[in-house]
Amino acid sequence: MSQSQGMLIVFSGPSGVGKGTVLREYLQEHPNVKLSVSATTRAPRPGEVDGVHYHFVSQEQFQTLIQQDGLLEYACYSGNYYGTPKKAVQEQLEQGNHVVLEIEVQGALQILRQHPQALLIFVMPPSYQELERRLRERNTESEEVIQRRLHTAIQEMGQACQYDFILVNDSVPQAKARLDQMIQAGPYLNRQMKSMIDEVLQDAQTIPQ
């Protein structure tokens, strides 16, 4: 990836942590940061629009996307497939925009392996009790679903240390400001600087001492 290209930003966190709210507000203020629209085999929820929230596809269409190497990453989560369409992301990066992938942990780790220059951010709740409170506050899910989400959340938070930055969502304005600092710092991660370091070391070998 050349310097003029945008940065790939992975954004993960457990259900109920409020990552969508922080991200939506951040994106509204930063038009050069685009959100990737994933493909999924899950059914649309009320209010979700095809092509806006997700590209809702059949199992067959998803398989075709995989076979045609059309996905940057994909994963099965809660019995449904989710994947990041490659072409749209590449187009945005080439235009110099940053692209955010709001994806779960398995997909995030695939991105890290294949695109080590990506910036990985994990959103944590300020406490476990607060996560539970936020999940219950939604008041939309049964106790069984809440317990399942909390169990998945614990597993996901166990992988948080594999990310570059941890964003604690204690309040949306503060989290948004910290997210901005993390994105500003992204280009200086040592993984991002690898080609520059290699160049200096190569010169050191070729230039006579």
> Which of residues 41, 57, 99, 104 is near ligand 5GP by CB under 6 A?
104
125 binds ligand 5GP (CB under 6 A): no
> Which of residues 38, 92, 169, 192 is near ligand 5GP by CB under 6 A?
38
The answer to whether 9 and 121 have CB atoms below 8 angstroms apart is: yes
Q: Which of residues 142-201 bind ligand 5GP (CB under 6 A)?
A: none
Q: Which stretch binds ligand 5GP (CB under 6 A): 60-68, 102-110, 129-137, 201-209?
A: 102-110
86 binds ligand 5GP (CB under 6 A): no
77 binds ligand 5GP (CB under 6 A): yes
107 binds ligand 5GP (CB under 6 A): yes
Backbone φ, ψ for residue 77 (5° rounding): -140, 125
Count CB-CB contacts under 10 A for residue 47. Answer: 6
Both tokens of 3, joined, read 């310097």
Kindly give, in sequence order, each residue whose CB lies less than 8 Å from that of residue 189, ignoring residues fewer than 6 positions away: 119, 164
Taking the complex as a whole, the smallest distance from the CB of residue 199 to ligand 5GP amounts, in Å, to: 33
C-alpha–C-alpha distance, residues 170 and 14, integer Å: 14
178-182 CB contacts, 8 Å cutoff, 24+ apart: 179/22, 179/23, 179/26, 179/121, 180/26, 180/30, 182/119, 182/121
42 binds ligand 5GP (CB under 6 A): yes
Nearer to ligand 5GP, 154 or 193 (CB): 154
What are the residues binding ligand 5GP (CB under 6 A)?
Answer: 38, 42, 73-75, 77, 82-84, 102-104, 106-107
